[in-house]
Structure 1
Amino acid sequence: MICKDRVVVVTGAGRGLGRAHALEFARQGARVVVNDLGVARDGTGDASDGPAHEVVKEIEQLGGQAVASPHDIATEEGSAALVATAIDTFGRLDVLVNNAGFLRDRMLINLSEDEWDAVMRVHLKGHFLPLKHAGRYWRSESKAGRPVDARVINTSSGAGLLGSVGQGNYSAAKAGIVGLTLVASAELCRYGVTVNAIAPAARTRMTEEVFAQTMAAPAEGEFDAMAPENVSPLVVWLGSAESRGVTGRVFEAEGGKICVMDAFRHGPAVDKGARWDPAELTPVLTDLLARSAAPEPVYGAS
């Protein structure tokens, strides 16, 4: 019961990773706000509160407490209402898990402006707005003298860290989430809030076609490395009091593997102390690149 009595919001919690997170938080004693619009894999179609209510029902069958949230977290009003739902229902908010997202995959030269905007909206704006309203709540609690021990877990991706062919919009949004995580961790620490990100690999509606083409299904009784439930223990730990002091970090999670990701760091450098002439730079940059680590390959690159 590592999260006993903590109040947790999980966005995109009707299916896949979000559902797995919500259920694991409930098993660990948390009270959960299950947010989901119930739309299709690509974000289209009519909204439905059915998936969120199904997860609430599952949590209640476990003996836990949960409430459904049908709010659109990529709008100012929806994200404010989401945070208010947690506070009005359970009296406070301790953990925000930003997980909601969908795909509009296309090679860059075929990617439409609408497909770019839609993915940026749900992933990047859909992280920023709930974080903004949760942060405002925690700031007001801190300024009122009430203790805050809060957590934010954002969802990036290997595509955002290394790139992924055919996913320029998704990769850019997920890279933006890493930058947002770093800034939020620095800005909110004074209020008792830690902010971290995960880069999960799991079989969900968003990835099932890829895994079906590249990986055989596990045999009966064999460990299913791509089950979304494998990622949730890390998310729950990051949402618990145990993770106090861990902030501004990105963790890759796949199967039984957890990896602390190293993002951009200052590498080899040369300082001339004056302006360079372009003709001077070939040997200088050749040396710098030779002394730096080679980038890891982009997913899907030949």
Structure 2
Amino acid sequence: MSPHRAALITLVAALSVLGLTVPAHAVGGSAEAVSAAAYWTPERMRAAVPLDRIAVSAKKVRTVQSSAATAAPVVIAPAAYPSGGAAWTGGGAVVKTAGRVFFTYQGRDASCSGDAVTSANKSTVLTAGHCVKLDGAYHANWVFVPAYDNGAAPHGKWAARATFATPQWDAGEDIDYDIGAAVVGPLNGALLTDVVGGQGVAFNQPKAQNMYAFGYPAAAPYDGTKLIYCSGRTFSAFLSSGVGMTCDMTGGSSGGPWFQSFDEATGLGVQNSVNSYKISILPFWMFGPYFGADAQNLYNTAAAA
């Protein structure tokens, strides 16, 4: 990370146009997938702790150095926001494409959020980088549970056969590139997006636009049982190269999708970021990484795997 960027933030965690190879972590064969799915019993899923809370309790926090850190962040004046965090009751496609992500991190059961996206392999899930790898190691027992329902998996538990991160996250866990992906194996002979559908993905879009963010926050005041959303106009982040939104989602929402052109009637949108981090002194804002060339390379690599 740049030495010119100072505020405490908390994680909420091939071919390329740049000639970079996207790091991948091969999970294993079908036997391991069955084992991972079996590991996540309803009781374990209910008891899983948001990764963000585990990381903070272990004093695993990210610091960003900023030459303007001592100045009040008055340069950002976002417009009024329709929703800073509420249960999604609109139905539509997002209810099935969004879900909770479960994995083991340093031997502890943890959770994040994720989203099924359209892809050539019909098996790609986008999430945050720290939801696939943190503190130098990729997570184990990784599964995606679309439409998670308080311990129930109405559309199955989809175990990863490979997980991916941007080169910058893989090498140094750079918060500017906190983007991850998983390719899940088939379940009962079917592929993920044939069962739950998929959202579109866009890259290199304007930072200021109307967007919706979704996730399964599991830290107070939320409990991980409901799909929560925020909506409003995004703005350029001032401690990273990403984007921000007024949103009070908490730990466990990391990796949940941000959509542009979201249609409340159909629940369809175009994914353009993920929940990534919050600044401890500004809990009413959520920040996500900018989906530029590196995010596009990550998506292309995962979608073709």
Query: With structure 1 as the length reference, what TM-score do the two structures score?
Result: 0.27
Bigger fraction of residues in helix? 1
Q: What TM-score comes out, normalization by structure 2 length?
A: 0.27
User: Quick check: which has more Rg, 1 or 2?
Assistant: 1
Ranked by relative contact order (alpha carbons within 8 Å, sequence separation 6 or more), the top structure is 2
Answer 1 or 2: which has greater strand percent.
Answer: 2
